[in-house]
Structure 1
Amino acid sequence: MKKVKFIGLALLLALALMGAAFAAWSNTLTGNATLETGTLDSSIAPGTVSDNDPEGLDVANVTATAGEDGKSIAITVNNAYPGYEARVPFTVSNNGTIPVDVSDLTFTGVPEALTVTDDFGGANDLAPGGNTSGAITVKVGDGAEQHTTYTFTAKIDVSQFNAH
């Protein structure tokens, strides 16, 4: 009976020591953190338009105006004739704090009398503060009407660089 009491007391003492050892080795860590998110902000701006009007004969003209949203360019073709061609250079800028993927340039409202192309292949991972450029070419076809104004819009498609 003494042996059983002794073994029981030894087990109780061993468990108490294990509990004390566990308490001495465990700890609680509390910390504070601040997380700031970046901003996604890009814009497109037109450059100086050039065309194939013969020198001294400025019959037709093209104007390119940045949209209020900063993501588009309104292009207007005035008094153009078949064979007239204009080039609208543009610059895409990353004004935000995170890299962006400028994947595409899309056109809306292009009249049938015009053929519109671009040499912009997109810019993957455009760094903050970075720029890339391209040009839009507008060609007037045989179906163009005299003394007519044609208008369409070019828009950039931008996404967060790691969103795809």
Structure 2
Amino acid sequence: MAQKARKDRAKANAAALTNLHTGTLIVNTLFFLFTFLIKKRSILLYVILSIPSFICEYILESSGRPKYNPSTNAMQNAGEDLSAPGLTEYMFDVIWMTWASVVLVILFGNWGWLLWSVVPAYGIFKGYSLLGAARGMAGMQGQQPDNAAPVAGNRKQRRAA
């Protein structure tokens, strides 16, 4: 049963990575074709703002790609679950927001990169809310409720008293 789950995860990861690489290839090819053939757009902004997307894609590829033994063709590792919430989900969001920004740059000019400002703003928001939750949890550990009576000793000591 566990082997089937590993095979399903490996198949889902391979499909997700194929779609991810295909989307990246299409969006970036359209950008370069448009920039060199139709209307000039800032390549410096493209390079600077696409670096996080490429880093996220590399991390997803290296951690999510299933690994196979070349001699026996048996699966060694199914890869990390690419549908997991949290950081994996945020990396996909960074990639998709970069794609949306590139498409907006193609359609409306370099002002389309303003959409990309949502990515760090969302990261700051999530980090601040996580920090606030951590502070709240740390503050509650040192406090006891006011109406709770302190427990004096163990059961044997309470019976003796």
Q: By the TM > 0.5 criterion, same fold?
A: no
TM-score by length of 2: 0.23
Comparing both structures, which one devotes a greater share of its residues to helix? 2
Q: Which has the larger radius of gyration?
A: 1
Comparing both structures, which one devotes a greater share of its residues to strand? 1
